[in-house]
Structure 1
Amino acid sequence: MPLNQPIQKRYHSISEVAKMLDVNPSLLRFWEKQFKQIQPKTNARGKRAYRQEDIDVIRRIYDLVKVQGLTLEGARKAMSARKGEAKERGAQAASAARAASAVATPAVDPAEVAKREEAVSRLKKVRQRLLEARAVVQS
């Protein structure tokens, strides 16, 4: 089953989606009843038109049920947990952005920067002398 197959069309019929996943159209209709995340558009005659988002959800359900072997209830819980995680990640990102914008940038004193650079330079020289002394002792 090609789960990563690129999709070119905007809408797909139920038979096209079933063929992509190598399942019966009746299984897709059943999953529509079992998973509220699958909501294909329907035309006036009631024919289903699946968007890319619908197909992605169906592929995720296929993976959970057919590949990983979860029950429908387990797959429902996994799908709702994934939705909750996405909401939580979005809330955390928004909170972090607010916090970052609220933090003021401290003023940098050029004299202090020069002192620190000089100290780093001295420490590097001391480290080099210690490495040389260790090499003499070990030989």
Structure 2
Amino acid sequence: MFNVNISHIRYWEKEFDVLKPFKNKKGNRLFTNDDLEHLKLIHHLVKEKGLTIKGAKQKLKDNKEETVDNHELVDRLKTIRQMLIDIRDELN
């Protein structure tokens, strides 16, 4: 889903307090929808925007709402871009 190693997600889980997946008896992590949204946001900040872990933490601490809004806008724009690419490909 995020194209990162599982170790990245475990590391982010340790570094970001907002990630609290439930662990079953076997130790498997069960992520809620909120956890997945937080993972998407962290992935966006660290992998797409190139922020350090410290920078991503600060960004979420300082203005989380603006960061979430920006991420949602980027997601919508990516969807629109893909739709336009699909239309172009159909026309060719």
TM-score range, shorter chain: 0.5 to 0.7
The reply to whether residue 80 of structure 1 matches residue 55 of structure 2 is: no
**For residue 57 of structure 1, what is the aligned residue in structure 2?**
38
- Give the alignment's TM-score, normalised by structure 2: 0.66
What corresponds to 2:14 in structure 1?
33
Once superposed, which parts of structure 1, at least 4 consecutive aligned residues long, lie more than 6 Å away?
none
Residue 42, structure 1, aligned to residue 23, structure 2: yes
Q: What CA distance in whole angstroms lies between the structure 2 residues aligned with 1:57 and 1:81? A: 16
Correspondent of 1:67 among 28, 36, 48: 48
**Alignment gaps of 5+ in structure 1:** 1-19, 87-139
Alpha-carbon distance in structure 2 between the residues aligned to 1:78 and 1:31: 15
Unaligned ranges ≥5, structure 2: 67-92
**Deviation of 1:43 (Å):** 0.8
**Larger Rg computed on CA atoms:** 1
Q: How many pairs were matched up?
A: 66
Identity %: 38
Which string of whole-angstrom CA distances, capped at 9 and with x for unpartnered residues, describes residues 45-79 of structure 1? 21100111001001101111111111110000111
Distance 1:75 1:69 in 2: 9
RMSD: 1.5
